[in-house]
Homo-oligomer: A and B are copies of this chain.
Amino acid sequence: MTLVGDHSTGVPMRAEVEARDAADPLAHLRDRFHVPEGLIYLAGNSLGPAPLAVFDDMETALRQEWADGLVGSWNEAGWFALADRLGDRIGALIGAEAGQTVACDTTSVNVYKALHAGLSLRPGRTTIVAESGSFPTDLYVAEGVVAGRPDVTLLLEGVDGATLEELIGERTAVVLVNHVDYRTGALRDMAALTRRVHEAGAVVVWDLCHSAGILPVALDASNADLAVGCTYKYLNCGPGSPAFIYAAHRHHETLRQPLSGWWGHAAPFAFELGYRPDAGARRLLCGTQPILSMRALNAGLAAIEDVDMAEIRAKSLALTDLFMDLVREPCAAHGAEIVTPQAAAERGSQVSITHPDGYAIIQALIARGIVGDFRAPNLMRFGMAPAYLSYHDIHVAATALVEVLESESWRDPRFAARRAVT
């Protein structure tokens, strides 16, 4: 196969790419994942692949813990403590000291808790500020929160003001913001924005769905207040795997959230009549967690937690740079535009490209074994996960994209039909 770049100047050549793979300190991580033969998987920003260790873990969870251990496994297999133990391990990957993060529920439910917790920390303040370009569920949930709080208004960047900063003021209670934009891959400066929010006397809720596990996140060092995120993207913990929620130690005693179920009680098995929140991060829990899905988190976290996140970030930037370098000119020549910021400090780990026929182009790539994804109306997303992608993979994927664009093979009618869910 002739790869793009081989006959050009200024873009990497096959030999250069192979040399990078040979020198890659993370190359061995690929053996920890199941990536189907013949597939180059660039949709890990949507659903990460299965870590190999998950098969044995689930066998243990099913046969030893549930089938044989039965109800005793709540103690003996440590099921009840999974929310904290896994939470602390997620915390270690996002710059949170132990005791501040719990694994539970869904990102949407955790956004709901976090927004209410934020409001409880800033009584008397009357606005929640968010991004109109947020992943929609954050906004839908924020709508649900303000619908129950007639004293609170939801203000949106891009609707009520051009920038978040313009909307943050003395009335702001909570700023809900995505660390990495799910569409463009743009990365916010967590420390700077958190400082800005605090200067206004508000608290911030960081949505880490597209940054947890793929770049260094420094919640504690940034003095963040609250955070939520999912574990099924770059943390590779399984489809719809339980999410997480973080609250800084300093807020634990004060914060309240209305999903006050028994798992958040200070003494859940005392069966007291009244709710009394746990002193720590467990007050962010609500009901009994889905243990089989929770048990899959171990393998996902174990697959990357012994790696320096700075190394993952370095390779992530190198992979995204390589891809952008290879496709930039052909994209421009064929009506496609890279919308991911070019500066390393301003982007996460995906390359997003718009094209009016993006849906068909993604289908044409999938037919060639290159799996990216599409978001309406015109966005193609290519997630770059250093744990299971090589420079060669990226070279092949970029070549395929260029060929699909140049040959217009996406015009084949079989690539036109839209599926219900993408």
A residues sitting closer than 8 Å to B (CB atoms) are: 34, 36, 39, 41, 43, 46-47, 49-50, 54-55, 58, 62-63, 65-68, 70-75, 79-80, 105-109, 111-112, 116, 132, 136-137, 139-141, 143-145, 147-149, 156, 159, 230, 232, 238-243, 256-265, 269-275, 286-294, 296, 371, 373, 375-376, 419-422
Contacts and interface: CB of A to CB of B under 8 A. Distances in A.
Contact of A54 (B62, B107, B288): B62
B260 A144 contact: yes
A68 B108 contact: no
Contact of A62 (B55, B257, B272): B55
- Oligomeric state, in number of copies? 2
Given A144-B260, A289-B240, A420-B75, A273 B70 contact: no
Those 5 A-B pairs whose CB atoms lie nearest each other, nearest first: A106-B287, A108-B287, A108-B261, A290-B293, A144-B260
A5 to B, nearest CB: 28
Contact of A70 (B49, B144, B292): B49
Contact of A141 (B55, B148, B260, B294): B260
Contact of A109 (B273, B286, B292, B294): B286
Given A136-B262, A290-B293, 12 more contacts: A46-B71, A50-B63, A50-B66, A58-B62, A74-B421, A109-B109, A109-B259, A137-B263, A143-B275, A144-B260, A243-B287, A269-B376
Contacts of A132: 273
A80 B141 CA distance: 19
Nearest to A296: B292
B106 A289 contact: yes
Contacts of A273: 132, 136, 139, 156, 159
Given A75-B420, A260-B144, A292-B296, A63 B55 contact: yes
A98 B152 CA distance: 38
A260 B139 CA distance: 9
Contacts of A139: 273-275
Given A50-B66, A75-B420, A287-B137, A148 B271 contact: no
30 contacts: A34-B67, A36-B67, A39-B70, A43-B70, A43-B71, A47-B70, A50-B62, A50-B66, A55-B62, A65-B239, A70-B371, A71-B373, A75-B419, A112-B258, A112-B261, A132-B273, A136-B272, A136-B273, A140-B260, A140-B265, A141-B286, A143-B275, A144-B258, A148-B258, A159-B273, A238-B291, A239-B292, A240-B288, A242-B290, A290-B294
A422 B269 contact: yes
Nearest to A82: B240
Contacts of A107: 287-288
Contacts of A111: 261
A354 to B, nearest CB: 14
A287 B105 contact: yes
A390 to B, nearest CB: 18
Contact of A71 (B289, B371, B375): B371
Nearest to A37: B68
A239 to B, nearest CB: 4
B75 A140 contact: no
Contacts of A41: 70
B422 A239 contact: no
A259 B50 contact: no
Contact of A106 (B54, B144, B261): B261
